[in-house]
Each structure stands twice: as structure tokens, then as C-alpha cells.
Amino acid sequence: MLELNEVNFDFVQTYIDRGFLPNFKTLIERYGFAETTSEARYEELEPWIQWVTAHTGLSLAQHGVCRLGDIMQRDILQIWEHLEANGLVVGAISPMNANNRLKNPAFFVPDPWTPASTSGGVILKRLSSAVSQAVNDNAQSRLALSSLLWLALGALRYARVDSYPEYFRLAKGARMKPWFKAMFLDLLLSDVFIKESINKNPEFCSLFLNSSAHIQHHYMFNSSAYRGEMRNPSWYVSENLDPLLDAYQVYDKILGEIIRVFPDYRLMIATGLHQDPYPKLTVYWRLKRHDDFLRKAGVLFEAVEPRMSRDFLVKCQTPEKALAAEQRLKDIVADDGVPLFDIHNRGCDLFVMLTYPHEIGDALGFRAGNVHFKSLRNDVAFVAIKNGEHNGIGYFLDTGNAVPVRERFALTEIPQRICAALGVGRMPICADK
């Protein structure tokens, strides 16, 4: 199961028509692809919701997982546990918003934002922690020395010789093309997946890759497959570059390697969602040091956990203290009167998103209650200009089931299709216990 988060197959087809992506071309011509459907409300179209659906067969109303990392508080049957309970050996690399409750997996590496355990050797566990730190601090280009060491050791252990030229190209070009860093990590995860699968020979294994979703959100307006009128400023990215094609080409190479190394495996590809161009200019920011900012602003908390991009989780000892922290966060506004945060109170913790959408210059300050601070820019890191927004239609390709005419089915059906392919009974549809 190859999970290519939010890849747009219409864009893939445009690039194919222009002579790119030969491995996608071969698969699509031979097997076609179906469309998947998910939630109806835009607010519920988030990958950390849809991938839980794809792994459990449950809709959002049934599984109730609304935020990244919340799977850790749910007792929900996932596809890997169901297959393991039926006697199959399974493995997973970086599945989004998934918990590791397996008894004896071939391997399991959680996504960089979910605090699930890693199953594997010492190097794999350390590499998983290093990838998590690198991804979560990417906006500040901050990489701990220990993480750098374990990334290097992980690369020595898992990087395949056939991938060396691509690693060198991505590392060399990352200064001019910062999106190459995300692609480098996806390439490394794919090599971990291939080597672990060769060594452990699981009967079902899944690989989740996210760089394309990240790059589409940030650079879709630069894609030669984009037909809209929005443009990114030249200081952000050169108009002559196509980061999305760069990402799709790396995926095409990964796809070709998986097909070459595992010719006897049945391959399923799913995207969960896809993205449409965003209609207006919106800037993403991320707090540099979450705990320092909250203390400075007078927010009382027990712990804070950064999540993807703009999001973070604030933990408090009691619901009363969480309510006080929520009110304090609501009182934090920029000098132009725009609130900085969107807060979701969940009892003893708050899921918070930094939602200020405009450019932040050195002169822009903010107010927390009656206290004024001069420079917001010192506390935030620029993440990106939003280019893409979520669309609930995803795509699904199965080398065991050709689709001559594009069909459409619910994302909740994916686990049952996996079970049918492996001759295993259907997953029971049961929500959080």
C-alpha cells in the first residue's frame, strides 16, 4: 500500500501528457484508477482525519479523530492489527495519525507528528526520532546535532546504492530549492521501507509519503499544470521553477523502484484527498519556541507539544486551568486587531492553530491582555504562502483490479479491499470503545 498524500491525479495526467512520469503512465494506462470520497464539510477535510478513515474503515462520525495525534487516545481497530490478528505479518512506515498497537510487526515507524512507538532495531528507532525533530523544526531550519548524527547513521544503514545519485542531487540543490529537503526525507523513508520489507518479508506493508502535499500547499501556483491566475512573488520562488513536478518525479522514481524490487507484490496506491488551487493570498506562520512564547504571553500550562505546521497542543492539569489558558490565548491579538490563534478546548488540553494570515513585518506587535509586545516577528517563523486547499476526492489504483472506467467509492472501503486482496475476513465496523 503506497499512500501518496493528496497527490492530484489530474496534475499527474497533465505531466504524463508532456512526457514526464513514465511509471505513473504505465500503471494508469494498464490499470486505470478510481476516485474515493470522504467527508462533505470542508472543515472535516484534513489528512489526519481521512487517513484514519482509510486505516479503520470508519467515517469521522464513527472514529471521532479530528486532530493529528488524537489516535493515541482512541481504542480503534486499524488495518494492521486486524491483519496481524488473522495471522499475517505486517509493516508500516510513517502512516499518518496511526498508533502502533501491534504485538510482533515486521517494522513500524510512526509519522513525525504522532507520538506512537517505533518497532525495529536501535538505528530505526533513533532515525524515527531524528526525522520527527527535523520535520517539526523545519520552518526554523533548526536541526539538533544528535538528530543530524542519527539521520546520517540511518542514511548509511538504509540508503540504497541505486538511490545515491538522487540523494546527491537533492542534497546539492536544497539550498536553492528548499522543497528538496522534504523530498530527501521521503526518498529515505522509501529506502527504509524497501530494505525493511526485503529483510522481513511482510505479507502486508504500507508506506506513507507527504512531501507532495507539503509542496502543493506551498507552491502549486508555480506548477505548469496549474491554470489559474494566482502567482507566487519572486522573492518566494522563481517563476521558472516547478516544485510540484520535482516532487512528482521523485515519487515516480520511488514507484519504479518498488515495482522493480517487488515484482510479485500486488500494489495499491491511495491519496486520501487531493488539492485545489487556493483563491486568495494567505501566509502561514509557526511559533519558534512554543513554551517560551506562551510563558511570555501569560498562558499557564503544564506542557506544550508542537504538531504539523501551525498547530500545537497545550496541556493543562484541570479543565478549569485549560479554560483560563483558552481565554488568555483568545486575548492575544496583533496590532491590527486580528487574533493570532484559533483554539479548540478539549477538556484538559487545547488544540491551537496560529491563524494570523498576513505578512508580519518588524514593526508589527501584539497584545496579550493589557500587556503589549513590540515585535511579533521575533516569535514566529515564516512557513509558506498557501497555494492549495483540500478537496475530498482522492484517488485509488490497484494492480489487482483494473478500472477501465473511472469508478467512485467511499474511502471507508479501502480496508475491506485490502482484506479481500489478502483473503482475510472483513474488518468489523466498531467505533472507539
Most confident of 132-141, 178-187, 247-256, 344-353: 247-256
Contact 93, 116 (CB under 8 A): no
Question: What is the pLDDT at residue 432?
Answer: 53
From CA 51, how far away is CA 31, in angstroms rounded? 23
Confidence band for 281, pLDDT divided at 50, 70 and 90? confident
| β-pair partners for 202 | none
When pLDDT is averaged across residues 310-338 and rounded to a whole number, the result is: 95
Confidence band for 409, pLDDT divided at 50, 70 and 90? very high
pTM as predicted: 0.85
From CA 175, how far away is CA 368, in angstroms rounded? 37
Question: What is the pLDDT at residue 429?
Answer: 76
More confident residue, 29 or 43: 29
| pLDDT surpassing 50 at residue 157 | yes
Question: What is the pLDDT at residue 433?
Answer: 45
Confidence band for 143, pLDDT divided at 50, 70 and 90? low
Confidence band for 140, pLDDT divided at 50, 70 and 90? very low
Give residue-wise pLDDT tens across range 287-308: 999 999 999 999 999 999 998 7
Burial bucket for residue 87 (CB in 10 Å: 0-12, 13-18, 19+): exposed
Give residue-wise pLDDT tens across range 93-125: 999 999 999 999 999 999 999 999 999 999 999
Contact 94, 208 (CB under 8 A): yes
When pLDDT is averaged across residues 163-174 and rounded to a whole number, the result is: 95
Question: What is the pLDDT at residue 405?
Answer: 73
Contacts 24+ apart (CB under 8 A), 317-325: 317/348, 318/348, 319/347, 319/348, 321/348, 322/347, 322/348, 322/349, 322/350, 324/300, 325/299, 325/300, 325/301, 325/350
Confidence band for 141, pLDDT divided at 50, 70 and 90? low
Give residue-wise pLDDT tens across range 333-354: 999 999 999 999 989 999 999 9
SS3 content of the chain, % helix, strand, coil (to 5): 40, 20, 40
